[in-house]
Structure 1
Amino acid sequence: MKILDWYILKRYLGTFVMMLFLFIPIGITINIAEKIDKILENEVPFWEVVNYYIDFTVYFANLLFPLFLFLSVIWFTSKLAQNTEIIAFLSSGVSFWRFLRPYLIGSTVVSLGALVMGMYLAPNASKGFNEFKYTYLKRGAEVQETSDVYRQINDKEYIYASHFQPRLNTARNFTLEHFEGNELKFKISASRLKLNEEDSTYTLTNFNKRIIGEEGDELITEISLDTVLPFEFEDLTPVSYMAETLNYQELRDFIAQEKRRGSGNINRYQVVAYKRWSLPVSAYILTVIAVAVSSMKRRGGMGVNLALGITLAFVFIFMDKVFGTIAEQSTFSPLLAVWFPNIFFGILAIYLLWNAKR
Structure 2
Amino acid sequence: MLSILDKYILKRYLGTFLLLLLLFIPIGITVNLAEKIDKILANEVPFIEVVKYYLDFTVYFANLLFPLFLFLSVIWFTSKLANNTEIIAFLSSGVSYYRFLRPYMIGATLVCIGAFFLGMYIAPSASKGFNDFTYEYLKKGKKAYENTNVYRQINENDYLYVSYFNVNEKSGTNFTLEHFEGQKMTYKLSANRIKFNDIDSTYSLNTYTKRIIGEDGDIIERKAQLDTIFNFELDDLTPVKYIAETLNLPELNKFIAREKEKGSNLINRYEVVRYKRWSLPVSAYILTIIAVAVSSVKRRGGMGVNLAIGIAIGMVFIFFDKIFGTLAEQSDFSPFIATWAPNIVFAILAIYLLRNAKR
| TM-score bucket (shorter structure) | over 0.9
Shift of 1:48: 1.2
Aligned match of 2:177: 176
Contact 1:143 1:166 in 2 (8 A): no
Alpha-carbon RMSD across the aligned residues, in angstroms, is 1.5
Inter-partner Cα distance in structure 2 for 1:218 and 1:207: 14
Map Cα deviations across residues 269-327 of structure 1 (whole Å, 9 max, x no partner): 11111101100110000000000000011110000000000000000000010011111
Q: Which amino acid aligns with 2:158?
A: E
Query: Counterpart in 1 of 2:86?
Result: 85
Tell me if 1:212 matches 2:213: yes
Specify the code of the residue in structure 2 equivalent to 1:261. K
Instruction: Give how far 1:198 is off.
Output: 3.5
Count of residue pairs the alignment pairs up = 358
Q: Which amino acid in the other structure matches residue 252 of structure 2?
A: L
Answer yes or no: is the 8 Å Cα contact 2:127–2:246 preserved in 1: yes
1:68 matched to which residue of 2?
69
> Structure 1 residue 29: deviation in Å?
0.7
**8 Å Cα contact 1:144-1:165 kept in structure 2:** no
In 2, Cα distance between the equivalents of 1:185 and 1:158? 12
Distance 1:320 1:228 in 2: 44
Measured in 2, the distance between the counterparts of 1:237 and 1:252 equals 20
Amino acid of the structure 2 residue aligned with 1:277 = W
Counterpart for residue 96 of structure 2: 95
**Given residue 344 of structure 1, which amino acid in structure 2 is its aligned partner?**
V
Return the letter of the residue paired with 1:243. A
Residue 262 (1) aligns with residue 250 (2): no
Structure 2 partner of 1:352: 353
Distance 1:167 1:89 in 2: 66
The aligned residue for residue 294 of structure 2 is 293
2:131 aligned with 1:130? yes
1:244 CA displacement:
0.6
CA distance in structure 1 between the aligned counterparts of 2:262 and 2:223, rounded to whole angstroms:
28
Find the counterpart in structure 2 of residue 232 from structure 1.
Answer: 233
Which segment is superposed worse, 102-111 or 249-258?
A: 249-258
1:168 is paired with a residue whose SS is coil
The SS at the match of 2:206 is: strand
Seq. identity, %: 69
SS in 2 for 1:191: strand
Structure 1 gap ranges (5+): none
The answer for the alignment partner of 1:201 in structure 2 is 202
With over 3 angstroms needed to count, the CA separation of the structure-2 counterparts of 1:244 and 1:140, relative to structure 1, is farther
Contact 1:81 1:294 in 2 (8 A): yes
Question: Deviation of residue 140 (structure 1)?
Answer: 5.4
Question: Could you say if the C-alpha distance between residues 67 and 209 of structure 1 is closer, same or farther in structure 2, counting changes exceeding 3 Å?
Answer: same
- Secondary structure of the equivalent of 2:100? helix
Aligned to 2:52: 51
| Structure 2, unpaired ranges of 5+ | none
Q: Is the 8 A contact 1:12 1:103 kept in 2?
A: yes
Kindly indicate whether the alpha-carbon contact (under 8 Å) linking 2:79 and 2:298 is maintained by their aligned counterparts in 1.
yes
TM-score normalised by length of structure 2 = 0.96
CA distance in 2, matches of 1:344, 1:47: 44
| Alpha-carbon offset, residue 159 of structure 1 | 0.8
